Amino acid sequence: MTSEEVADLLRIEQQTLQVWCNERRFPFIKMSRRNYRFRSADVQAWLEKRVVPVTEHEEQNDTT
């Protein structure tokens, strides 16, 4: 995936994605000094690690 595709998927600016990569906060493959690529499996795994589960208490409050 390209930086543009990942930024669109995450609904963030490409510049934010670049900062995250520079800070090693997001997985990437460095093709050249300015050219990064992203594996879709890595992007999905990164997203999965950030899922916050809903607790039973929250589910009960959500139905009101």
- Output the six-digit token pair for 28: 């990437």
SS3 23: coil
Residue 54 pLDDT exceeds 80:
yes
pLDDT of residue 58: 61
User: In degrees rounded to 5, what are phi and psi of residue 36?
Assistant: -110, 150
pLDDT in tens, 14-34: 999 999 999 999 999 999 988
Q: What whole-number distance in Å separates Cα of residue 11 and Cα of residue 55?
A: 26
Q: Specify the pTM.
A: 0.78
Q: How far is CA 13 from the centre of its chain?
A: 12
Q: What whole-number distance in Å separates Cα of residue 9 and Cα of residue 2?
A: 11
pLDDT of residue 63: 61
All structural domains of the chain with their residue ranges: 3-51
